Structure 1
Amino acid sequence: MQQACVLLLQDVFAVKVKRRRAAGQQSGGAVLGLALFCCRRREKRLEEDTVHLHNASSEHTHTWYNKLKELLTGFSSRPRYLKVFINPSSHKKEAIHIYREHVAPLFKMADIHTDITVTERKGHALSVIQECKLDKYDGVVCVGGDGSVAELCHALVLRAQLDANCPEEPVKAVLPIGIIPAGSTDVVSCSVHGVRDPVTATLHIVLGHLQQVDMCSFSSCGQLVRFGFSAMFGFGGWSLAHAEKKRWMSSSRRREYALVKTLAKLRSEDCQLSFLPAKKTNLCLSGHQDQDQVEKDDPVSEGNESWITKQGLYLNISVMSIPCLSPHAPKGLAPNTSLTNGSALLITVGKASRSEFIKHLKRYNSSSGQFNFPFVETHSVSAVKLHPFSLAGCSEESEEEGDAKEAPTILSEGVALPWNIDGELLEIESEVLIRVHSRLITLYGEEVDEAESTTSCNCF
């Protein structure tokens, strides 16, 4: 017995009249019925599919066609006019090809009109968003990597502040953003799609699947640096700084080179770290406090907020408001973080040997256990302040264990340290304040708990 197949109207994005035409005939022809273009789920992937409805009656076919078109128009979250930004320099420089081959045909089939800008430089999308009339669009699409996505999200929030005449407080972006992955890691795309697949990303846009997402503001000396989703200071910042010096390499080779280079010169940062625990959330400590860190017993009160302050040597400090899923970290760099819980995960990696630190890094490729080390702590936070004091000198490898030797030196005034903010290198001289803002941006997609994995980096 043939199993019945159910097709939900919410999964249909286009309907066309089928006709029999002779070779070379461009119009007319006998009516054969309808073709319903829809999506099918295959785990986390969405795939294009077609259902054929046969009916030789022209009257009946057009009645059904008009009714189905009317019903499909009733899905208000589905876009009709999109502003598209394509970064031709992303990753393997395949963004334009990805858009033409995988995205544009689906947009055309769904009767979505587009206004396309191919970016020519860093900050190009920001300048366009500041000047264009956003009210004529239903959404914005980014074809690129995490840097392009972060720039566009930052631009839309800044534009919302400008339009609301509210420069002091973040204002929710008025348009949703669709992300077509074309980068090297695509952690934002993976966090809302679960896969690095342009067809899946496009179908989420076409079907109007909307997901509210938290963002962070990064400020220094009272001035906004940018809005973003994640930041790494210490190892994550230095490895990106090394990678940026080798832009001529392929992305995979550049990433491996940067990891090896940073591990060979593993250094600790002497920092004062303050954080504001997320409301209604207990502190989550997965590791133990480093003996060389000094924690104040009483929280520091600032207005109605109670900050907890620590000082010590840190190999890496991460703040992430999204899980940051990727093929290299399928459970995410911040696996206990939701897209919309109004908090971020603070991950601190204290003083440790090089070999133990490498074990910690390698755990990200597995399902769990990356925080099960005595030198690693995690906290659910709503704000973080980080003030660096000194730089430890470049470590020399021990012949027996390959451990890092600390040789701290005082950091001179005006020395900028590297930050990795959403995959973009920023050099900041002074204290950085990070605050989480709930549901500041809307992305096309849906929350997932794990990404498809690939072969891990072979440099370990």
Structure 2
Amino acid sequence: MTCFLFTKNRVSVFLKKEVQKLRILFPLECVVLRGIFKLGKKSHDVLLTRTRLTWTPIIPETPTGEVCMLQPGVLLLQDVFAVKVKRRRAVGHQSGGAVLGVALFCCRRRGRRLEEDTLHLHNASAEHTHTWYNTLKELLKEISSRPRYLKVFINPSSHRKEAVHIYREHVAPLFKMADVRTNITVTERKGHALSVMKECRLDEYDGVVCVGGDGSVAELCHALVLRAQLDADSPEQPVKPVLPLGIIPAGSTDVVSCSVHGVRDPVTAALHIVLGHLQQVDMCSFVSRGQLVRFGFSAMFGFGGQSLARAERKRWMPSSRRRDYALVKTLAKLRPEDCQLSFLPTKKLTKNLLEHRISIMSIPCLSPHVPQGLAPNTSLANGSAELITVRNTSRSEFIKHLKRYSSSSGQFSFSFVETHTVSAVKIRPRSLIGWSEDSEEEGDSKTTPIIQSEGAAFPWNIDGELVEIANEVLIRVHSQLITLYGEEVQEAESTVSCSCI
């Protein structure tokens, strides 16, 4: 805080300049309320407009005629999510008590995190305090993107089974403070949220919230688009859902949450929801033989699908150990998939490839493991996806490629890696060679193809969920198909490093 000292004959000139500065800062804003409050132990002149609150310390003239002018504090109302009347209450009393002033609950940014903060305005006048309280409440109601009633789904089995605790301890208090009502469903099985979403009256709600990991998020995003298609009687074309989805991270990687929050932090996610921060996000449709498989954000074929399939067959293991086991086992038995790949941006391109891995991602897929994302060259809402192909190469070179994802850059600077910005991709396996964990476990040669019976399916990793598909897959990008609570971020907070390779 800077202090300027002036004599009387210079005060008027200085004040005129300060008024001009304020007019530049607030060109079309008129003052809604003006009053005196104490912040800490000092009295302040407080001004309220329709978009912000400013306060300036009141400092009297000194006996020598000098005046001290201080820079005003500023709080934007878009960062305020609740306002309460402060009272002095006796121990054990839940109501009543002498009025002390107004408390404004707001968020402040610390890096990529949003944190709860409070501004206390002290004034013992009940009439004065309630005038400010009622006016502030009305101004906050005018922010139309903020929810008032939410449908909440909690997956109690996510990651370390902490989702219920995370919601009760970190999220529910913020929703209550912001006067957000909730209707909660604790899911009991895979597909439970989808079945509820098909039947419930969505017009009662302002948004939907998912407390869980990437699997739960994928199920609810898929359900929202399907329900929008059903309501619009449009079975052939994807329809943008009316309601936004909020994601409270409670999984092991939380890729979608990190992509719209930058951190795996439930308080940050909850504050984005109560403040009504909305971000349009692209999605993909996955279709096989004319039938919709699902909607999602990302998919991996080859190495990513094989490692997930192995992990799913070891569900009895702890999650972190299961992931490490599957990764190491798949690397040990590394083999490419023979497929035909066609993709579209400006013109159709077709290649016949032996691929270790193909990834299609419509969002950057940020996570603590991969701070810049699996697909750093795409964004949340640019109407395209990033196609990453890794051709047949040695195991050591492939491992070098994987390890660079956890560093700052360079994962694509290999001759066997290609990236393309696409709007559609078609992948057609070129043989009946499928994938079988059982035959590999029995000690088959690494170079011997595993011939499966007719109808053999290939494992796909779609948003962290295992999907087995026997035929070609057509993937289309749908621009800004869904709205999520959050904002565009460039990089995720890195707190975890991979030590398994």
Give the alignment's TM-score, normalised by structure 1. Answer: 0.90
1:457 CA displacement: 1.7
Query: Residue by residue, what CA displacement relative to the aligned partner does 1:401-421 show, whole Å, maximum 9, x if unpaired?
Result: xxx975556665311010000
The structure 1 segments of at least 4 consecutive aligned residues displaced by more than 6 Å after TM superposition are none
Are 1:354 and 2:395 an aligned pair? Answer: yes
- Residue matched to 2:274: 206
Greater relative CO, 1 or 2 (CA 8 Å, sep 6+): 1
Alignment match, 1:184: 252
Taking the aligned partners of 1:362 and 1:131, their CA distance within structure 2 comes to 45
In structure 2, the gaps of 5 or more residues are: 3-70, 437-444
- Contact 1:256 1:457 (C-alpha < 8 Å) held by counterparts: no
Aligned to 2:406: 365
Q: Is the 8 A contact 2:342 2:348 kept in 1?
A: yes
Structure-1 residue corresponding to 2:297: 229
Question: What is the CA–CA distance in structure 1 between the aligned matches of 2:264 and 2:93, rounded to whole Å?
Answer: 39
Residues in 1 aligned to 2:206 and 2:499: alpha-carbon distance in whole angstroms: 43
Q: Measure, in 1, the Cα distance between the counterparts of 2:404 and 2:344.
A: 27
Partner of 1:195: 263
1:381/1:119 Cα in 2 relative to 1: closer, same or farther (>3 Å)? same
Residues in 1 aligned to 2:249 and 2:215: alpha-carbon distance in whole angstroms: 11
| Contact in 1 for aligned 2:102/2:122 (Cα 8 Å) | yes
Residues 365-398 of structure 1: CA deviation (Å, up to 9, x unaligned): 001100000000000000000011244899xxxx
Q: Please give the residue correspondences for 1:373-412 in structure 2 after superposition, counting only pairs within 5 Å.
A: 373-390=414-431, 391=433, 406-408=447-449, 412=453
Could you tell me whether the CA contact under 8 Å between 1:270 and 1:392 is conserved in 2? no
Give the share of equivalent positions with the same residue, in percent. 81
8 Å CA contact 2:435–2:457 kept in 1: the answer is no
- One of 40, 58, 64 as aligned partner of 2:108: 40
Q: In the alignment, what sits opposite 1:150? A: 218
- Give CA-to-partner distance per residue, 1:190-213, whole Å, 9 cap, x none: 000000000000000000000000
Shift of the 433–325 alpha-carbon distance from structure 1 to 2, 3 Å rule, reads same
**Displacement after TM superposition at 1:26 (Å):** 2.3
The one-letter code sitting in structure 2 at the alignment partner of 1:428 is I
Q: Please say if 1:61 is aligned against 2:129.
A: yes
Distance 1:133 1:393, change over 3 A: closer
1:129 to 197, 220, 227: 197
Offset of 1:455 from its aligned partner?
A: 2.9
Q: In 2, Cα distance between the equivalents of 1:30 and 1:406?
A: 81
- Corresponding residue number in structure 2 for 1:433: 474
Q: Confirm or deny: 8 A CA contact 1:268 1:392 kept in the other structure.
A: no
1:255: Cα distance to partner?
1.0
Alignment size in residue pairs: 425
Question: How do 1:45-444 residues align onto structure 2 when only pairs under 5 Å count?
Answer: 45-277=113-345, 279=346, 306-390=347-431, 391=433, 406-408=447-449, 412-444=453-485
For the aligned residues, what is the CA RMSD? Answer: 1.6
Q: What amino acid is aligned across from residue 151 of structure 1 in structure 2?
A: E
Task: Verify the 8 A CA contact 1:267 1:393 in the aligned structure 2.
Answer: no
CA distance in 1, matches of 2:132, 2:155: 41
- Matched to 2:277, the amino acid is H
Larger Rg: 2
Secondary structure at 2:430 match in 1: strand
Query: Could you say if the C-alpha distance between residues 175 and 393 of structure 1 is closer, same or farther in structure 2, counting changes exceeding 3 Å?
Result: closer
Structure 1: segments with no counterpart, 5+ residues: 280-305, 395-403
Q: Could you tell me which of 448, 456, 459 is aligned with 2:497?
A: 456
Separation in 2, partners of 1:74, 1:419:
45
Q: What per-residue deviation string (whole Å, max 9, x for no partner) do you get for residues 254-293 of structure 1?
A: 111110010011111000000011x5xxxxxxxxxxxxxx
Q: Which moved more, 1:177-186 or 1:248-257?
A: 248-257
C-alpha distance in 1, partners of 2:113/2:101?
A: 29
Q: What is the SS of the residue equivalent to 2:419?
A: strand
Scaled by the length of structure 2, the TM-score of the pair is: 0.83
Q: What is residue 76 of structure 2 aligned with on the other side?
A: 8
SS at match of 1:7: strand
Question: What does residue 285 of structure 1 align with?
Answer: none
